Each structure stands twice: as structure tokens, then as C-alpha cells.
Amino acid sequence: MAEDLTILKGDKQTQYQSLIPQIEGLLMGETDVIANMANICAALKEQFNWFWVGFYLVKGNELVLAPFQGPVACTRIQKGRGVCGAAWADAQTLIVPDVDAFPGHIACSSLSKSEIVIPIIKNDVVIGVLDVDSEDFNHFDEKDQAGLEKIISLINF
């Protein structure tokens, strides 16, 4: 496993193209899901320097906070609540350009302005989400969706 990431600057596509093979390398030979989620958060934070990036996992009827990078966050989210709970209920990626305009958005921090949430689906069931927050409005687009969905698919949940 490589010990250091190579951080390429450039447009989003360039950054994902550089990062994804390195994440594949980080995950290679490691079967522990917590370890892999933790390293993915660190790699994404290092590459993109987003405000917050982390996982929530479905436990019973809630999402529960899992490995993340960034400020402390709310630990439990009900199905259908907030962007994360909505992505879980809909089993679909949600891109929110202005979190204040999203009904029921859960403000873990007032600094967060836009958000993308990708559901993690195993055997047709949502088992968790990857949540990313930015301090800028309108930060995430379909390139982030494609890159992050690819990265999620690398984890053997």
C-alpha cells in the first residue's frame, strides 16, 4: 500500500482520475470495512479539502455516524430526514446546491452550504450513505456523483 497520496490539482475529472487508482491501491488486500471507509475519507479530504466528508451506516431504523473527516457531526439520522435520510429513503444520489433551500436539511454546521449524498446499496438495499459538505454554494455536480459512486463501488461492504 502506498503511504502517501499524490495530490494532483486541476479540474474535477483530472482529480478523480488521479485519486481513484490510488484509492484502489489503498483498499487492495484490506478487507476491514471500517479501515477502508476511514482511508477513503482521509484520501477525499486530502485531495479535495472539502468541509466535511464521511459515512453513515444504517443500523435498525437510523443512520449512525461512521468514519469521517471534518468537524464533529450529528450521530443519528432518521430515515427520510435531512439530505442523508432522503438519499436513504429514495435510494438515489442527491445533489443539493443550497442546503438552506432543502426541506428538512439537518445543519450539523452553519458553515455547510451545499451537499452531495450517495447511497451505498448492497443486494438492492441501502446500507449506508457517503455524505460530503462544502462551504461553497453549488459546489457538487454530476462529475462528483460519477467519481464518488465509483469510489463507493470499490468498497466490499
Q: What does the binding site for ligand SME look like in residue numbers (CB under 6 A)? A: 52, 73-74, 77, 82-85, 105-106, 108, 112, 115, 131, 133
Taking the complex as a whole, the smallest distance from the CB of residue 121 to ligand SME amounts, in Å, to 18
| Residue 125 to residue 64: CA distance in whole angstroms | 16
Taking the complex as a whole, the smallest distance from the CB of residue 81 to ligand SME amounts, in Å, to 7
Question: Which DSSP letter does residue 103 get?
Answer: T
| Residue 151 to residue 143: CA distance in whole angstroms | 12
- End-to-end Cα distance, the chain: 20
Phi, psi (5° rounding) for residue 82?
A: 65, -175
- Specify the residue, 24 or 76, whose C-beta has the smaller distance to ligand SME: 76
DSSP letters for 36-56: HHHHHHHHHHHHH--SEEEEE
Taking the complex as a whole, the smallest distance from the CB of residue 128 to ligand SME amounts, in Å, to 13
- Specify the residue, 27 or 66, whose C-beta has the smaller distance to ligand SME: 66
Taking the complex as a whole, the smallest distance from the CB of residue 143 to ligand SME amounts, in Å, to 21
Sheet holding 125-134, edge to edge: 76-78, 62-69, 52-59, 125-134, 114-122, 94-96
Taking the complex as a whole, the smallest distance from the CB of residue 18 to ligand SME amounts, in Å, to 26
Which is nearest to 140 in space by CA: 39, 52, 38?
Answer: 52
Q: Which residue is nearest to ligand SME (CB)?
A: 82
